[in-house]
Structure 1
Amino acid sequence: MAINLQKGQRISLKKEAPSLTKLMCGLGWDVAQKSGGLLGMFQGQANFDLDSSILCLNSNDKLSSKSDVVYYGNLRHKSGAITHLGDNLTGKGEGDDEQILVNLSDIPTTITKLVFVVSIYDCLSRHQDFSQVKNAFVRLVDLANKKEIARYSLSGTDYAGQTGMILAEVYRHEDEWKMAAIGEGIRVNDIQDIANQYF
C-alpha cells in the first residue's frame, strides 16, 4: 500500500521497494470551478497548464548545465536515465496528467539529487496561481510491478499567490535513494525562473 506523504516526511525507497530501479513520477491536477457570473466565465476561459519538471542537481545542490533540467522543452536527460512523456496543456482526464520515467541505476554519479517541481505556464498574464488548482498530487510508481510507492497531495493547502511548487526530492544517501516531500510554494513565471535559482 502506498505511503501518503506529509510535508517534510522522508522515506527510504530501498525499504519501501527493495528491488526498485525504474520509477515513474506522475503529476495530476484539476482546475477549481469558478463562481458564476460574467467575470467567472471570462476568467475560466484560459486553460491551466501545469508543467512538471525534474532538476538534476550535483553534490553542491546546483545545476551543472541547462541540460540537467528535464521538462517539456527537454524531454530526455542526456544520460538517458530520465524521460518526460510530454506536456499536458489542460489537466483534463483522470489519473496522471504528466509522467516522467526515471531509471535510478543509470543516473550519473555526479547527480546526487532529483528535485521534482511544477509550474503554471504563462501564469502571470493569465492571473493564475495554485489556489485555483485542486486535487493536485505527485506520486512515485515502481515500474517493475506498477505499484504505487508514495503519493503527496497538495489538496487542502493554501497556496494563494504561489505559481510554482517544489514538490519532492529524490536523493542519494550513502548506498540508497530516499524521497522527501517538500511542498514549498514559490512565485515564478515559468520553469526557467525555478532553474535560475539553482545555478
Structure 2
Amino acid sequence: MSSFNLNKGDRFSLSKAAPGLTVVKIGMGWNPNDQQGGPEFDLDVSAFSIGSDFKIPSDSYFTFYGQIRMGNKIEDKIEKGLFRPFTEDGAIIGAIDDPDGTRSDGDDDEDMFIDLSKVSDKIEQIIICCTICKYPHDNKKDRRTLDLDFGKVNDCYIRIVDESNGSEILRYDLKDQYTNEDAVEFGRLFRVGNSWEFEAMGRPHTGSLQTLVDMYT
C-alpha cells in the first residue's frame, strides 16, 4: 500500500485504507534550525485523549514524557531498559523524550503506539501535539529557550504506520510559516461509528505545553 500525503484540513479514513488495522505507530520528526552556540531545541510529542466534553477523563489520558510510570514495558514496542508513559486503558504507549532532534535516516525523532482496539469507549478523539520545551523545564535551564518557536524548526512531519507490517499509511508535513508559536496540534484520530479517521490539523498556539494542558484538563 502506498502512503498518502495529506494537507492541512484533510481527513483520512484509516479503517478503509487498512481494514483490520489495530496498532498504529505515530512517528514525528523535525530538523531544528540551530545556530552555533545557540539554545538547545527540545521538541516533545504528547497526546490528549478526550471525551464528548473535550476534556481528558483523568490525568492518565494526558500522555507525555513526564507521565512515565514503572511497569509498562510492553513486548518489543519498548526499548530494553527504557520506560514510556501509557494510558490507563492500555491503548496508548507514549514517546521517549529525544532532547536533541537528531536521528538516523529513515528514523522518527519520537514515536508513540496506539492500539485502536483498546481505546476506552469514553474517548472520542486523540489529539497528537508537538511542543517546544522551554525554560525552566529544559534540560540545561537555558533562558534563551524562551525565544524558540516553530519558525525556527524545519521539515516537521507526522506519519502513521501500520505496526503489523511496518507500512506507512499517511504522512502530513507541516508547511505553515510560524512566528512566535511554540505548540502545534498536529492532528487528531477520531471515531466515526466503529471506524477511525485522522485529520491533519496543524493548529498553532503560544504558551507551549501548558496552553494545551489548560485547554483539555
Normalised by the length of structure 1, the TM-score is 0.90
| Aligned residue pair count | 189
Where do 5+ consecutive residues of structure 2 fail to align? Answer: 68-84, 137-142
Name the counterpart of 2:216: 198
Aligned partner of 1:178: which letter? E
Aligned partner of 1:58: which letter? G
- The answer to whether the Cα contact below 8 Å between 1:164 and 1:187 also exists between their aligned partners in 2 is yes
1:5-20 superposed matches below 5 A = 5-20=6-21
DSSP 3-state at the match of 1:197: helix
DSSP 3-state at the match of 1:29: strand
Name the counterpart of 1:4: 5
- The answer to whether the Cα contact below 8 Å between 1:30 and 1:136 also exists between their aligned partners in 2 is yes
1:42-53 superposed matches below 5 A = 42=37, 44=38, 46-53=39-46
C-alpha distance in structure 2 between counterparts of 1:123 and 1:141, whole Å: 33
C-alpha distance in structure 2 between counterparts of 1:20 and 1:47, whole Å: 38
Identity, % of aligned positions: 31
- The answer to whether the Cα contact below 8 Å between 1:8 and 1:181 also exists between their aligned partners in 2 is yes
C-alpha distance in structure 2 between counterparts of 1:59 and 1:148, whole Å: 30
* Equivalent of 1:100 in 101, 112, 120: 112
DSSP 3-state at the match of 2:97: coil
Where do 5+ consecutive residues of structure 1 fail to align? Answer: 35-40
1:122 matched to 2:137? The reply is: no
C-alpha distance in structure 1 between counterparts of 2:32 and 2:127, whole Å: 24
Name the counterpart of 2:99: 89
Per the TM alignment, residue 112 of structure 1 is displaced from its structure 2 partner at its CA by: 0.8
RMSD: 1.4
1:133-172 superposed matches below 5 A = 133-155=153-175, 157-172=176-191
Name the counterpart of 1:38: none
| Structure 1 stretches of 4+ moved >2 Å | none
